[in-house]
Amino acid sequence: MSTSGATADPLAALGSLPGVAESVESVRKAVDRVYGHRIMRRRSNEITSEAALRGARGSAALSGADWALEEVRRRTDFSADDEARTVGAALRLTAEAGQLLSIWRQSPLRVLARLHLVAAADKADHVGRPRHAGEPVDEPLVGLPLPDAAEMHGRLDGLAELIIAGGSAPALVTAAVVHGELLALRPFTSHNGLVARAAERIVLVGSGLDPKSVCPAEVGHAELGREAYRTALDGYVSGTPEGMAAWIAHCGRAVELGARESTAVCEALQRGAA
């Protein structure tokens, strides 16, 4: 996404794209249904914890580690191989995201650097900072052309400026743009998908749309599948109104599916309490 357009608030302008308002309203209704559930009034902490676990599993699946939920739940060692390390990174990011909400609006680049540091769990020089010219990127599941370091830094700075400035864009639109831009730019040498989805979660929670973090979009993205994810991302990268609207709608559907997942958890807890 170019952040140098003619409008003062380009994120808000995306809200007027065909179909986006309908996606925003559909997401709001889905989120309201979860928050209105009677179980949420008494056991919201349990729903939040379960949503975090399921969200991490979904994000890891999109990054190539598609483990069963019960395997994620029971495992304690996440260092055995690449898939285990990916799941471990997703779990760490989900836990860390909630600690960074207060910093996001003031210093989003600092938050992104922290997320990469947590995901990589490494002290190498390239960890916790945007990549330099010539540094390779390990992100095999995103096959888009990679912007060079100069373009990446410029667009990343522009994205940060938009977040800091705030504006009137719906939370879904802002979250979708943050997610899509980070996937398009791949600013780090690794773990960009995991970081992008964690950043999407931070926006959805910090905006007040999902303050208790019980509507894990990562679950929905995983349920919709990698191919749909890539296709929608292609639309975002195209920069066309239709492509941008399709990406936002895709992200909206993912949030709705995450809300549906937590609603099912609420129903299960309610049956158990009956």
pLDDT at 274: 44
Q: Are 132 and 225 in contact (CB under 8 A)?
A: no
Backbone angles phi, psi at 64, to 5 degrees: 100, 0
CA distance 59 to 91: 9
Mean pLDDT of 245-271: 97
Tell me which DSSP letter residue 209 carries: S
Mean pLDDT of 239-248: 97
As a whole number, the mean pLDDT across the chain is 94
Q: Which residue has the higher pLDDT, 80 or 260?
A: 260
Mean pLDDT of 53-80: 95
Longest dimension (CA), the chain: 60
- Tracing tokens 């292609």 back to the chain, one arrives at 234
247 token code pair? 């990406």
pLDDT at 7: 54
Backbone angles phi, psi at 138, to 5 degrees: -100, 90
Q: Confidence class of residue 140 from pLDDT cuts 50, 70 and 90?
A: confident
pLDDT at 3: 45
pLDDT at 243: 97
Q: What is the pLDDT of residues 154-212, one digit of tens each?
A: 999 999 999 999 989 999 999 999 999 999 999 999 999 999 999 999 999 999 999 99
121 token code pair? 């769990």
CA distances for 69 relative to 59, 184, 186, 191, angstroms: 12, 28, 27, 21
Tell me which DSSP letter residue 225 carries: -
Q: What is the pLDDT of residues 75-125, one digit of tens each?
A: 989 988 999 999 999 999 999 999 999 999 999 999 999 999 999 998 888
Q: Which residue has the higher pLDDT, 4 or 24?
A: 24
Q: Confidence class of residue 1 from pLDDT cuts 50, 70 and 90?
A: low
Q: What is the pLDDT of residues 32-52, one digit of tens each?
A: 999 999 999 999 999 999 999
